[in-house]
Structure 1
Amino acid sequence: MKILYATSEAVPFCKTGGLADVAGSLPPALAEQGAEVAVVLPMYQRVKERFGSQLKFECYDFVDLAWRHSYCGLFSLEKDGVTWYFLDNEQYFNRPDLYGYIDDGERFGFFSRAIVRMLPHFQFWPEVIHCNDWQTALVPIYLKDDGVREDRFRSIKTTLTIHNIEYQGRFGMQTLGDLFGLDQGWAADGTILMDGDVNLMKGAILCADAINAVSPTYANELKMSYFAHRLENIMRRCEYKLSGVLNGIDMKLYDPATDQRITANYSVDDLEGKNVDKAALQRMMGLREEPHVPIVAIVSRLVSHKGLDLICEVLHDMMELPMQLVILGKGDRKYEEFFHWAAQQYHGRMAVRLDYNEELSMAIYSGADLFLMPSKSEPCGLSQMIAMRYGTVPIVRETGGLKDTVQPYEAWRDAGNGFTFANYSSSDMLHVIREAVYLYKDYPDAFSRLRKRAMKCDFSWARSAKDYLRIYANITGQPWPSVEPEKVEEAASVVEEATPVVEEAAPVAEEAAPVVEEAVPVAEEAAPVVEEAAPVAEEAAPVVEEAVPVVEEAAPVVEEPVPAAEEKPMKKAAKKTEKKSVKKAKKDEKPAEKPEKKAAVKKTAAKKETKKKGPAAKEKKEKPAE
């Protein structure tokens, strides 16, 4: 199966959030499962600076976006069994940041258009293009639009992953033709139009062959107005192609036993190194070096849906607890100013870094004791998985992927891998934080067991990759995993060997047919006797021994079935049983056909019929006597 993964960021080339972690880990996991995978990214300035010397120039072409006719260069890099493609245009991508520019719509409109028009220059023609969020949402739309004129695009299926539906790619109505180069019909039929604006996410949801959210819970939440940001009706309409696949993390990259980015390595069996990392974090952030005080950490974008309002409401109550607080991230100014002010109030017990730094984030994951994520909505979340991998116990609100990955701690049976609360309430959050802090302080053994359970959780991509491959198989109609030719030949030979047995059994079944028909009513009457037959079986054994000579005398009467049974015996246990039942049924009929037989035979047969067939057999016995 040939898969092209289209994304606006991916580790290790460029990153601003969780999408980069997914795009950097999922394609190699798909390749390990046997798929042929390529990834396409914009050629950002930071990609050129870090990896420019490793990139191979493939070719260039010109891409038309509405009235624009722009250069597009194609570069490639082989890594982790995946071909990484980079689309180059300095006007759009040679900038210090990935997003946040006034022309982002035009930039990623060009990126989506270039993906479709540059397909002939790739190493393979994809069977599936996997798109992510609004930045590549135009790809399914362009494929449908171009497929009207060019047959080759009709064979490509598309999958859209929604990482966060809050960001939908909404632009003014005038951008439809002038910017994106689409006909007014796309708005007239409502495919791409919503609330008077162009909505790229809506158009992609309707045009894609499959849609998936990044966790099962989030997939259900997207059908609710609270989480879907006005797209709930569209999600319910497309429910038939919606699924939820939980994200994973790179278990090799995030391994405290081998990670070179942390001060000291440790494992679930030897946690001594975590104490060293904790002391190093306290020195790094200017906190008091208190080994027995838990560090509560937050690594997040400082935006409202991350639940930061709850922290602002009860921050002073939190700081009354015997704990330290570390915050790393940047975002809305109101949160940056508040946390900067609060850090000055609690010098030595609270530290804030208004930035995102990979090294510092790893120091926090490895050195902290508790990880706080009180999100209002969280499609999946990778931070809680990384935190658990490093033995930092999560405190989360039960939403999206947080609910799917964190099971609440239950002291009565010593279970769970973190702490959770359901309501979006600052008092509920504070209660759970207090419970976690005092478990760390007062019951260190119980907290240590909880920490080890969190570290043992499996969040690898292997499981998720199989789920994605099943989605691709459903939309392409290809079986996955594909059957090897050797196994197909073996299966065919088994069928060929089994066929003659069925043919030989056919005539026997035909001859026995009338007997079975006559025996049907008898079987119905004998049904209640079967329940009582179990204890009688032992007593009936000697009767069978006496009946052996009777069968020998009666053998000549049955002329055709006997030699057939000798020449071609049945091998199957089920067929033996059928033959015995036919013989018994015929034996039951013999006294009726041959009244001149000995009296002993009649008595034995009558006795046998009375035991097995009840009143029906008595009637048959009386008939020949007349």
Structure 2
Amino acid sequence: MRVLFATSEAVPLIKTGGLADVSGALPAALLKLGVDVRVLLPGYPQVLQALPPMPIVATFSGLFGFPAARLLEGSLPGGVPLWVLDCPDLYQRGGGPYVDERGQDWSDNPRRFGLLSKIAAVLGSDESPMAWRPDVVHCNDWQTGLIPAFLRYAPGAARSVMSIHNIAFQGVFPAHWTPELGLPWDCYKADGAEYYGNLSFLKAGLYFCDHITTVSPTYAREIQTDALGFGMQGLLQYKSHALTGILNGIDYDEWNPATDHHLSAHYDSQNLAGKAVNKAELQRRMGLDIDPAVPVFGLVSRFTYQKGIEVILEIVPQLLEMPAQLVMLGSGDPGIQSWAQELAYRYPGKIGVQVGFDEGLSHLIEAGSDLFLMPSRFEPCGLNQMYSQCYGTPPVVHATGGLVDSVVDCTEATLADGTATGFVIHGLSGATLSATVQRAVEAYRDPAVWSALQLNGMTRDFSWGQSAAVYRDIYQRVLDR
């Protein structure tokens, strides 16, 4: 089985969010299962600088509406074959994959990701210049959403699977882009890529693909509702027979407290002594009072409404009275950033805030915190709640998406049957979060309960192997139709 995995980002080359983690780990897990998989990624400066010189294996010119491009061949760490789409006119620029240095979307994003989609479709059809041809093209989020549409009109087209990592981002652009990207007007209709008078990359992918996946079973149900479907719920209900929720895995080579090179001391489920060392280091680094007895709540997140950050900030006085400390790492909404920094100034030694992103610090927060806060209003999958369990740091999560699929609430029953791994909030508000945090602190003060929680979480298996096997079965399913 040959699979082309098309994505706009992949660790360790380029990352803005969880899509990159999936794109780095899932193809590697598929390769181990015997799937002949190749990753297709745009040639951003960060990608080309991180890789050694790569040979040119194909050139593309004269494609309707697109500048000339080249296909370079290399590999990702772990040996996954990689094709880099090199088009300096579209990708060789500052800023990030989607935005410029000022944080504004690139005005030509439709063309930038239209090209990525077009090339993937060419490679998955009789038009391909390559000897290697995929049976299935696996598309990821709106940036690759036009692939199934292009394949619909291509000779000898491969099957397609469309993965939704966050349905809130849909790639919606003015309708005039439809012919400018070489798509026939025939696909621009309600039963197609048209979305309230615009062209939606994501809707095109969902409508024209052979199967849809998303990143947790609960999220697959949530996106079929008015509350969390973001306008796509009707289409997803219509295609519910071809919609599967598959929980993401985590990369244990990168996230393992026994080997993590970012930590001051290593530890595992059999010996947690190193966790106390990391806690003291975290308190020191973030300017907190170094106190082994007070529980530290950690957070690594985008500072946005989706993540429920302002609800955490609302209950800071109650949190500190318990007593507890709070560590926050992230960036996003300027108002939330300022609010968090103001609280850190008001409560020195109790709250530590760092705006921005620091990979090493994110690992230290997972290891040095006693509990991890993740009260997202919606969360397609989430990874930090899995990292936290792996690091013996029980998470406090809202009952949504992948959070409720991966965290078992601590109750008398779940403690008795050995499944409890964290604390689940039902109905997010200041009152419910405060009550759940209080419940978590009470558990922290009971050594037997706390040890059981940590052990349960650290011995769970969140590896990619099981999830990759489900993806492989879906590929086979669409080929057998």
Taking structure 1 as the reference length, the TM-score comes to 0.72
Displacement of 1:393 after TM fit? 0.7
Aligned with residue 432 of structure 1, among 423, 432, 436:
436
2:458 to 455, 459, 468: 455
Return the alpha-carbon distance in structure 1 between the equivalents of residues 168 and 283 of structure 2.
36
CA contact (8 A) 2:123 2:133 kept: no
* Corresponding residue number in structure 1 for 2:469: 466
Give secondary structure in 1 for the equivalent of 2:337.
Answer: helix
* Selected match of 1:175 from 170, 174, 177: 177
- Report the Cα distance in structure 2 between the residues aligned to 1:285 and 1:259, rounded to whole angstroms: 20
Q: Distance in 1 between matches of 2:402 and 2:469?
A: 18
Bigger Rg over Cα: 1
Task: List per-residue Cα deviations over 1:194-234 (Å, max 9, x = no partner).
Answer: 11111111111110000011111111111101011011100
Q: 2:112 aligns with which of 92, 107, 115?
A: 107
Structure 1: distance between partners of 2:246 and 2:13: 24
2:303–2:309 CA contact under 8 A, matched in 1? yes
**AA in 1 matched with 2:301:** S
- Deviation for aligned residue 1:448: 1.6
For 2:241 and 2:164, locate their aligned partners in 1 and report how far apart those are by CA, in whole Å.
Answer: 16
Runs of 5+ unmatched residues, structure 1: 479-626
User: More deviation in 76-85 or 355-364?
Assistant: 76-85
Q: CA deviation at 1:439?
A: 2.0
Deviation, 1:79, is 4.0
**SS where residue 330 of structure 1 aligns?**
strand
Equivalence map 1:525-540=2 (5 Å): none
Structure 1 match to 2:102:
none
Q: Distance in 2 between matches of 1:453 and 1:71?
A: 50
Query: Who is 2:50 aligned against?
Result: 50
Match of 2:22 in 1: 22
What is the letter of the counterpart of residue 465 of structure 1? A
State yes or no: 1:137 paired with 2:120.
Answer: no
Between the aligned partners of 1:126 and 1:445, the Cα distance in structure 2 is 53
Asked if 2 retains the 8 angstrom alpha-carbon contact of 1:75 and 1:87, the reply is no
Residue from 88, 91, 100 that aligns with 1:90: 88
CA distance in 2, matches of 1:96, 1:23: 21
- Of all paired residues, the percent bearing the same amino acid is 37
**Gap change, CA 1:198 and 1:272, over 3 Å in 2:** same
Q: Find the aligned partners of 1:123 and 1:298 in 2 and give their Cα distance.
A: 47
Aligned residues: 468
Unaligned regions of 5+ residues in structure 2, if any? Answer: 100-104
- Distance in 1 (alpha carbons) for counterparts of 2:475 and 2:413: 44
2:10 corresponds in structure 1 to 10
**Could you report, residue by residue, the CA deviation over 1:247-268 in whole angstroms, capped at 9, with x for unpaired residues?**
1011232111122221111010
Whether the 8 Å contact between 1:63 and 1:114 is mirrored in structure 2 is no
| 260-269 or 88-97, which deviates more | 88-97
Q: Contact 1:343–1:351 (CA<8 Å) still a contact in 2? A: yes
**2:425 corresponds to 1:421:** yes
Whole-Å separation in 1 of the counterparts to 2:480 and 2:300? 42
> Alpha carbon RMSD of aligned pairs, Å?
1.7
Aligned to 2:49, the other structure's residue is in SS state: helix
Shift of 1:298: 0.8
Residue 75 (structure 2) aligned to one of 74, 77, 82: 77
> TM-score scaled by structure 2?
0.94
Per-residue CA shift, 1:51-71, capped at 9, x if unaligned? 2x2x42123422455433423
Cα deviations by residue, 1:388-446 (Å, 9 ceiling, x for unpaired)? 11111100011001111001001366241100011122211110001111221x31231
AA at the equivalent of 1:109: G
Checking the alignment, whether the CA contact within 8 Å between 1:46 and 1:96 is kept in structure 2 is: no
Residues 1:221 and 1:65: Cα distance change in structure 2 (over 3 Å): farther
- How many Å apart are 1:463 and its aligned residue? 0.5
Structure 1 segment 132-211 matched on structure 2, within 5 A: 132-145=140-153, 147=154, 150=155, 152-153=156-157, 156-178=158-180, 180-188=181-189, 190-211=191-212
**What's 2:325 paired with?**
324
Q: 1:544-587 deviations in whole A, cap 9, x for unaligned?
A: xxxxxxxxxxxxxxxxxxxxxxxxxxxxxxxxxxxxxxxxxxxx
Looking at structure 1, the residues matched to 468 and 61 of structure 2 have their Cα atoms a distance apart, in angstroms, of: 33
The aligned residue for residue 290 of structure 2 is 289
Post-superposition shift, 1:320? 2.4
Match of 1:240 in 2: 241
Q: Deviation at 1:28?
A: 1.0
Query: Equivalent residue of 1:5, what SS?
Result: strand
C-alpha separation in 2, matches of 1:355 and 1:379: 23
C-alpha change, 1:123 and 1:298, in structure 2 (3 Å) is farther
In the other structure, the counterpart of 1:117 is 122
Q: Which has the higher contact order (CA 8 A, sep 6+)?
A: 2
- 1:284 offset after TM fit, Å? 1.2
Taking structure 1 as reference, are residues 393 and 413 closer, same or farther at Cα in structure 2, changes over 3 Å only? closer
Deviation at 1:309, TM superposition (A): 3.0
Q: How much has 1:34 moved relative to structure 2?
A: 1.1
Distance (Å, rounded) in 1 between the aligned partners of 2:66 and 2:36? 33
The 1-side partners of 2:110 and 2:303 are apart by 24
